[in-house]
Structure 1
Amino acid sequence: MEVKIGVRDVPREIVLESDSTPDNVVAAVESAVASGTLLRLTDEKGKLTVVPGGLIAYVEIGAAETRRVGFGTL
């Protein structure tokens, strides 16, 4: 699923594809924002993204996207 993170005072958002469930991402974001700690998310290729919880402006969690092959989907 696609996760977009907006960071305060930064014009670009952070976009990553995650294997986590939406509930796990929401729980991690809530915890980081509430406690002011770091939000740590790993994408599907294993790359770690770390964002300070106090600087998170918004988080968009998208649905899992199916792979497109030709004119159909898998």
Structure 2
Amino acid sequence: MRGTARKIAHITGRRRDKAVEVKIGVQYAPREIVLESGQSVEEVERLVSDALSGKTQLLSLQDEKGRKVLVPTDRLAYVEIGEPTVRKVGFGTL
């Protein structure tokens, strides 16, 4: 099973140990949308830039589980893109 997961991660080009945290503020919504995406920081930034420049009417991002988040660009309040986080497994020194 482990080999299969590695093959799938290699084929899709995603690494499970790195994720970009994205926080999206939506106008008139009491809570922000928070997701971890397997997309790169540059790719998320390009998608946000395209949405804000009017090239698309929806900001479309995909989380690590393959779910899509769609937000109308005219309702975007802010987008915060975090650095890739490295997930640590096991015990170690801090």
TM-score by length of 2: 0.70
Q: 1:59 aligns with which of 71, 79, 88?
A: 79
1:11 Cα shift?
1.3
Q: Is it true that 1:4 corresponds to 2:23 in the alignment? A: yes
More helix as a share of residues = 2
Aligned to 1:26: 45
Question: Does 2:36 correspond to 1:17?
Answer: yes
User: For the pair shown, which has the larger CA radius of gyration, 1 or 2?
Assistant: 2
Q: CA deviation at 1:70?
A: 4.4
- Distance in 2 (alpha carbons) for counterparts of 1:71 and 1:30: 40
- Displacement of 1:72 in angstroms is 3.0
TM-superposed deviation, 1:57: 0.5
In structure 2, give the amino acid aligned to 1:42.
Q
Q: Per the alignment, in what secondary structure is the counterpart of residue 59 of structure 1?
A: strand
The residue matched to 1:32 in structure 2 has which SS? helix
Number of equivalences? 73
In 2, Cα distance between the equivalents of 1:72 and 1:7? 39
Give the superposition deviation at 1:23: 1.2
**TM-score for both structures, normalised by structure 1:** 0.87
* Structure 2: tracts of 5 or more residues without a match: 1-19
2:41 and 2:84 in contact (8 A); partners too? no
